Amino acid sequence: MKKAKTLPQILLFFSILFFKSTFFYSQDFDVACRGAQPFCSDASRELTFSNTIGDMDGLGEIGCLNTTPNPSWYFIRIDQPGKLVFNIQQWIDADGDSVLDKRERQLDVDFVAWGPFKTSFIACDILSKGCDNNGDGDNIRPAECVNNVDDPFYYIENSDNTNIVDCSYARTPDDDVYTETFTIPNALSKEYYLILITNFANEEGVIQLQQTNLDEPNAGTTDCAILEPGVGPDIATCGEYPVTIEGRFPGDPPDVPGAVSFRWARADVGTTNFIDIPDPEGMVPFLEVNTEGVYRLSGFDSSGNQVPDSPDELVVLDVSNAVVSVGYAIAEESFAGSYTITAEVVTTPEIETAGFDNFEYSLYRNLGNGFVEYRSYQSSAAFSNVPPGDYFIRARYANCPDSEERSEIIMILGYPKYFTPNGDGFHDTWSLINIENQPTAQIYIFDRYGKLLKQLRAGGPGWDGTYNGRNMPSADYWFRVEFNEPRDPNMRRRVFAGNFSLIR
């Protein structure tokens, strides 16, 4: 399983291999992935990173790659779950614009990827070097690994039976095939994946990981927040522990050193009384936490000095009981015809203090046989173009069903646009919607000439379409209602007039 290279390159490379022991490869591999750099790819950031040169002996035979010269290590973190498909390219960026231009020369690129992991800081020796096609756990060998160019479904279907998630080398780089395809079929949020990318040409250039399926249904995304120094955004947990947090202070070598050792500390939410946390792993920048709180990471250089951007903090908060109550406001006055209902959530003091605000809302409507979901969960608290009727709102912290609470019944005044008094039990009478709680309301019905046909009682049976015992014809009719405006805190008296249709 070796791709086509020139004969002098192959002879040089295997001359180097001959003098390098298997043990030395193992030792290098066991620590190499700890230097992995964060990577992401989205619609706004198609990043490039400098490749590696001067290490032609590399790490030996890994996965489907017989050779791994000039290995570069990267990791990604999943943001939105789903399928992710990437193109991996490497080229000499002559104009330094991080864009592959037509006249710029591409370089051969190969890769191996592993995952998923709950953190990027793993013991490198857990990364499988080979595949296990029969799944017996014995004799896991690189020779069993398949190039995804030969079998695109081999890794997608986990036929390797290891934590290798994909592996590829272009078979004919001499024919200008330089792009590798890397696929994660079913990624979940907050998963990490490690990627080893090689540079067989040993020429200085850049590497780009470009996601190609962002516009497709069910596409996952990478989290570009990992590019920022520190510990990243706050974490909301729906009562699920432990929670793994991690961070880094990469600096800007060679002038600004990065952190090589770390210290964690914790304080209760809303306080600054930080207490150092003993680190059983030996001062590494990831931590499993089992309680909510404010977690602070400090980073130090090789001289023991605190590095730039250090310390940094994040809040881990259990949002299972985040919602105390759900209220609402309605923008329009009664009989507007269409309404905007806005949810108003009261949260716990801890949630408010920490500034956690990722709530979602759904709207339920009574259609006559009980309440059903009318608008599914959305991030906006406002529901627009709502017709009159009976509703309630459910609110919760995003993706945390345990935090769900509901509002009281919301009754919006309105009127039917038509009724059909034909005795079938549906729309046989006409009356105002939700007027029954206003006993002082006065409701009058007129024909098109202004003749009074009926005066209705709030909460009564409504108009059956007759006058003096005689059926009135199909036509438009008018009404006027005097009522107290429920949207006004003083319940001021209002008059509203409108029309509706009688259909026989």
**Average pLDDT by stretches of 10, the chain with 504 residues:** 34 31 48 87 75 90 94 93 94 88 89 94 92 92 94 95 94 69 94 95 91 92 90 92 90 81 92 87 81 95 92 96 96 92 95 93 93 96 96 96 96 94 91 92 95 94 94 96 92 95 94
CA-CA distance, 197 to 201, in Å (whole number)?
A: 12
Q: Is the peptide bond before 311 cis (omega within 30 degrees of 0)?
A: yes
Instruction: Give the C-alpha distances (Å, rounded to integers) separating 28 from 19, 42, 60, 125, 274.
Output: 15, 32, 10, 10, 37
Q: List Cβ<8 Å contacts ≥24 apart for 402-405.
A: 402/238, 402/239, 402/320, 402/321, 403/238, 403/319, 403/320, 403/321, 403/322, 403/323, 404/323, 405/323, 405/324, 405/325, 405/326
* pLDDT for 458: 92
CA-CA distance, 307 to 286, in Å (whole number)?
A: 17
Say how many Å lie between the first and final Cα of the chain, rounded: 80
CA-CA distance, 354 to 397, in Å (whole number)?
A: 14
The gap from C-alpha 30 to its chain's centroid, in whole angstroms, comes to 32
* pLDDT for 22: 30
How are beta strands 405-406 and 389-397 bridged, if at all? antiparallel
Whether the CB-CB separation of 205 and 195 falls below 8 Å is answered with no
The gap from C-alpha 76 to its chain's centroid, in whole angstroms, comes to 14
- The 10 Å CB-count burial string (b at 16+, else e) for 63-89 is bbbbbbbbbbbbbbbbbebbbbbbbbb
* pLDDT for 421: 95
| DSSP symbol at 68 | -
Instruction: Give the C-alpha distances (Å, rounded to integers) separating 227 from 82, 161, 231, 248.
Output: 21, 31, 10, 9
CA-CA distance, 125 to 199, in Å (whole number)?
A: 22
* pLDDT for 47: 79
Beta-carbon contacts of 423 under 8 Å, excluding residues fewer than 6 positions away, are none
Whether the CB-CB separation of 431 and 462 falls below 8 Å is answered with yes
CA-CA distance, 300 to 257, in Å (whole number)?
A: 9
CA-CA distance, 413 to 22, in Å (whole number)?
A: 81
CA-CA distance, 187 to 192, in Å (whole number)?
A: 9
**Domains defined for the chain, CATH in brackets:** 7-226 (no CATH), 235-318 (2.60.40), 323-412 (2.60.40.10), 418-502 (2.60.40)
Which pTM does this prediction carry? Answer: 0.72
Whether the CB-CB separation of 458 and 492 falls below 8 Å is answered with no
Beta strands in 232-305 (DSSP E): 235-237, 243-246, 261-267, 275-277, 286-289, 293-300
